[in-house]
Amino acid sequence: MQLKSNKILIILSISILLFCLIAVLESTGLTKHFDKSILLSFRQSGDNSIPAGPVWLLDFMTDISFLGSVTVIILITLFVSVFFIIKKNLTLLWVILFAAIGGGALDLILKEIFARPRPEVVPHLVNASTWSFPSGHSVMSAVVYISLAVIFIPANLNNRLKKYILTSAIILSLLIGISRIYLGVHYPTDVLGGWILGAIWSCISVVFASRIIKKPLAEATDG
């Protein structure tokens, strides 16, 4: 599915401005009350070590969170890369590697720049290391799942199915980010920043793809 370049530029510009705004607000501590209140809303009022909701919700959120983990993202990138190697489509191989490796590197660099500690407002329900801002799970789920949706949507597919595939990728990314807040390992602004950064890099990856492929992504996939 081809996205018009002007739409991509608009999304990219808005996303960069929003990310800068969140980064400034977070760095100055202006999001502290917002972050704390959201984190506490996911816990029982009498004991913030117990997550809110039914018992099964914790397992659900843990499983959803795993879909954005380093292990899963690496495996998906590896499997897709081998697929393109078998099809001898080195162009799209470089596109997916550019998206995944570039997005991961950007996330790590920004984590070191902001060096935000993990939340201490509530106990963590899963193990988490590295710095908190931006959320790596949110960044990489947006980058990989959305980029793959754009790459693999056939050109001859009807618009409803195209929108369904892309919307499914976006919803999955949103659920992964929410799971990180629910599990207490990220502030809401970490996740918001991660989603936006993922959108930024996804747009850049699509622009990169369109420049080097010079034909619809779906046609390149069939090559």
Contact 101, 204 (CB under 8 A): no
Contact 149, 166 (CB under 8 A): yes
**Pick the catalytic residue: 43, 111, 116, 137?**
137
Active site residue 33: no
**H or E element: which one contains 49?**
strand 47-51
Sign of the dihedral through C-alpha 184, 190, 192, 198: negative
Backbone angles phi, psi at 50, to 5 degrees: -105, 125
CA–CA gap between residue 123 and residue 185 (Å, rounded): 8
CA–CA gap between residue 137 and residue 141 (Å, rounded): 6
**Pick the catalytic residue: 12, 96, 186, 205?**
186
Report how far apart, in Å, the C-alpha atoms of 109 and of each of 56, 59, 106 are. Answer: 36, 31, 5
Exposure of 67 in the CB half-sphere (CA atoms within 13 A) = 20
Distance between first and last Cα of the chain: 15
Active site residue 137: yes
Query: Which residues are catalytic, by number?
Result: 137, 186
